[in-house]
Amino acid sequence: NQLDVAMPGARTAIALAGVETGEVPRGSTLVGDSAWLPTTLIRADVTVLPGAEGSFGPRTQLRFHAGTSDVGARVVAREIRAGTPSSARVVLEEPVVLRAGDRFVLRSSAPLNTIGGGIVTDPHAPRRARPWPVGLLPQERLQRLLIEAGAAGLDSAALPVRLGLAPSECRVLLAESAREHFVIGSRVVARSIHHELGQRLVQLIDAHHAERPLDPGISAQLARSRLAAAPELIESVIQARVDAGDIAQLGGVLKRAGWTPALSDGDVHLADRVRSRLATAGAEPPSADEIVEELGTGVQAVLRFLEREGEIVQVEEGRYYEASQLTLLVGRLRQALGGGRMKSPSELREELGLSRKFLIPLLEYCDRVGYTNRGATGRVWRGT
């Protein structure tokens, strides 16, 4: 008969098409949920029989039996007492599919005697798993798992296996412990980890303000890369800090709430020299590199600040115009293109008195901002 459910103790046959008998050895596990994964390292509460305490050295080879699986194992524990459950790590020589709550038997290798057994408390323990107290409740194990997972969090779909609960029980557990964690997309993150990431974010922003006081803030993309966490988690952290009034987000920039870049006394003097240099240069200003060479360090930050303030305009990469000088130059270009006539770069060069080095970048800038249209033989004015 074809069955949908096989009950414990019933003999059941499963047809596996395209699989050789040798590919399905004793102890194989058939699952239909991707959260069930093989493991070679588990946490467990281990109980040993009286007189067997000496059989549990960290290098002692034992046999681990769970279901129909029979694999070599080592048990690592700080202390094991007969008749009393002890927290331990069990290192398996071959992968076994387990879930929290599964029971197992431990036997000596030679002779083959039962010396103890236990209950799986964490089927996917990290490599350097610290021991847990014996007899933890699911809620307590969940919190420990979330702290260990850190910023990566836990996939909520894996919780039934990690906790040994039914999916419906996991949903109830998450709802009852909502104050202890955040559910972000498909992942669960400890609230303490979320808070710690928020503190690190604020520290990153403060450090950027201190290092670059003329910048409007730190690039959000740079902050994300330095936090090194899942994108959904970082966005949640940013939004939480914005909602709390700690930081503000302006487009792709993050800053402390109320932060406004301002010139220091030394920067004010440097900014005056930059303005003066660009105003004096008029229609053919020096490049940013040339200004740096003339006026010294700190010029690049001042240039970016003055640009954001609208006092200077970057017409091409690395070349700025004093705003009023650029306005005059664009006005001359508008007069030269009066009457809707299209003029070539060579004609405009003569009328404006600019070298090609400055004319072409100016024309391309005017194309970008919508003052001019570029045709097959030249430019035509289309601005207002």
Task: Provide the strand spans (E) within 136-222.
Answer: 154-155, 181-184, 187-190, 218-219
Q: For residue 280, give every residue at least 6 positions away whose Cβ sits within 8 Å of its Cβ, in sequence order, or none.
A: none
Mean pLDDT computed over 97-104: 95
Residue scoring higher pLDDT (135 or 3)? 135
Largest CA-CA distance found in the chain, in angstroms, rounded = 107
pLDDT above 90 covers what percent of the chain? 71
The answer to whether 187 and 233 have CB atoms below 8 angstroms apart is yes
Mean pLDDT computed over 154-168: 94
- The mean pLDDT value of the chain amounts to 91
Q: What is the pLDDT of residue 51?
A: 83
Angle between helices 231-243 and 220-227 (to 10 degrees): 120
pLDDT tens digit string along 335-372?
999 888 899 999 999 999 999 999 999 999 999 999 99
Q: What is the pLDDT of residue 230?
A: 86
pTM over 0.85: no
Per-residue tokens: 290 = 């040339």
Mean pLDDT computed over 267-281: 93
Reported as a pLDDT band with limits 50, 70 and 90, residue 384 is low
Residue bearing tokens 């008998």 = 21
Angle between helices 345-352 and 356-369 (to 10 degrees): 110
The answer to whether 316 and 309 have CB atoms below 8 angstroms apart is no
Give long-range contacts, CB 8 A cutoff, 24+ apart: 184-187: 184/153, 184/230, 184/232, 184/233, 184/236, 185/232, 186/155, 186/156, 186/157, 187/152, 187/153, 187/154, 187/155, 187/156, 187/230, 187/232, 187/233
pLDDT tens digit string along 179-236?
999 999 889 999 999 999 999 999 999 999 998 889 999 999 999 999 988 888 999 9
pLDDT above 70 covers what percent of the chain? 99
Q: What is the pLDDT of residue 71?
A: 94
Residue bearing tokens 């690049």 = 300
pLDDT tens digit string along 130-152?
889 999 999 999 999 999 999 88
Cα–Cα distance between 106 and 25 in angstroms, integer?
21
Reported as a pLDDT band with limits 50, 70 and 90, residue 268 is very high
pLDDT tens digit string along 26-78?
778 888 788 899 999 999 999 999 888 777 777 889 999 998 899 999 999 88
Q: What is the pLDDT of residue 249?
A: 95
Per-residue tokens: 51 = 């007189």
* Closest CA relative to residue 144, chosen from 155, 133, 158: 133
Give the Å distances, CA to CA, from 151 to 94, 327, 371.
30, 51, 50
Q: What is the pLDDT of residue 112?
A: 81
**DSSP code per residue over 209-251:** HHH-TTSS-EEHHHHHHHHTS-HHHHHHHHHHHHHTTSEEEET
- Bridge partners (DSSP) of residue 70 are 65
Give the Å distances, CA to CA, from 289 to 282, 300, 315.
17, 9, 15
3-state secondary structure of 255: strand
pLDDT tens digit string along 278-315?
999 999 999 999 999 999 888 999 999 999 999 999 99
Check whether 101 has a pLDDT greater than 90. yes
Cα–Cα distance between 338 and 265 in angstroms, integer?
45
Q: For residue 247, give every residue at least 6 positions away whose Cβ sits within 8 Å of its Cβ, in sequence order, or none.
A: 201, 202, 205, 238, 241, 254, 255, 256, 257
